């Protein structure tokens, strides 16, 4: 249970940028942290909605960073183009109806588009050139041999 909480806070810190460098005021930083937690809950709500129409392994391999970026970037434009009254229907929906709508919308999501980046296999280290000797010689012994 602890690691689930730790992972959530790591995700909030990294993906949702709850600690912006420019906020020097404690109240502003606390407000940004609270907004990041709300956004984290929204992303956590998306996962069960995505698991309904898609395979749970595909959903588990989806990048939270890519999903968050795709939500945040077009949001400002959507809020300008669609007036507030268009969004009120979601606030008036019953929880069951909202869940059904989310599942329907989640069916249009392509999990492969949001797949986490996988690191390729590590390359073997390049061999270091031999300095001509096979063993180490102490500098102290070399100085003593000259005397």
- Angle at 111 (CA atoms; ends 109, 112), nearest 5 degrees: 125
Question: For residue range 59-90, what is the model confidence (pLDDT) as tens digits?
Answer: 888 887 787 777 777 777 777 777 878 888 88
pLDDT tier for residue 133 given thresholds of 50, 70 and 90: low
99 pLDDT more than 80: yes
Question: For residue range 118-130, what is the model confidence (pLDDT) as tens digits?
Answer: 888 889 988 887 7
Question: For residue range 5-39, what is the model confidence (pLDDT) as tens digits?
Answer: 777 777 777 666 666 666 567 777 778 778 777 77
**58 within domain boundaries:** yes
**Residue 98 Cα distances to 39, 46, 49, 75, 78, angstroms:** 18, 12, 10, 19, 20
Task: Residue 18: give the domain boundaries.
Answer: 2-118
How many domains is the chain built from?
1
**55 within domain boundaries:** yes
83 close to 133: Cβ distance less than 8 angstroms: no
Output the pTM of the full model: 0.56
Average pLDDT of the segment spanning 40-58? 84
**129 within domain boundaries:** no
The more confidently predicted of residues 132 and 93 is: 93
Rounded to an integer, what distance in angstroms lies between the CA atom of residue 74 and that of residue 127?
Answer: 49
Burial track 108-119 (b if 16+ CB lie within 10 A, e otherwise): ebebeebeeeee
Rounded to an integer, what distance in angstroms lies between the CA atom of residue 9 and that of residue 79?
Answer: 28
């Amino acid at each position: 249970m602890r690691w689930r909480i730790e992972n959530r806070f790591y995700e909030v810190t990294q993906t949702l940028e709850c600690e912006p460098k420019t906020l020097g005021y404690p109240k502003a930083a606390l407000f940004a942290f609270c907004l990041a937690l709300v956004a984290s809950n929204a992303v956590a709500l998306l996962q069960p909605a995505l698991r309904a129409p898609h395979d749970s392994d595909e959903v588990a391999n989806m990048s939270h960073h890519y999903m968050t970026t795709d939500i945040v970037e077009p949001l400002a434009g959507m809020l300008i183009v669609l007036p507030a009254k268009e969004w009120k229907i979601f606030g008036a929906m019953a929880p069951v109806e909202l869940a059904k709508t989310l599942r329907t919308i989640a069916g249009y999501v392509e999990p492969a588009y949001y797949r986490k980046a996988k690191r390729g296999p590590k390359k073997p280290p390049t061999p270091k050139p031999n300095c001509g000797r096979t063993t180490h010689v102490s500098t102290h012994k070399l100085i003593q041999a000259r005397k």
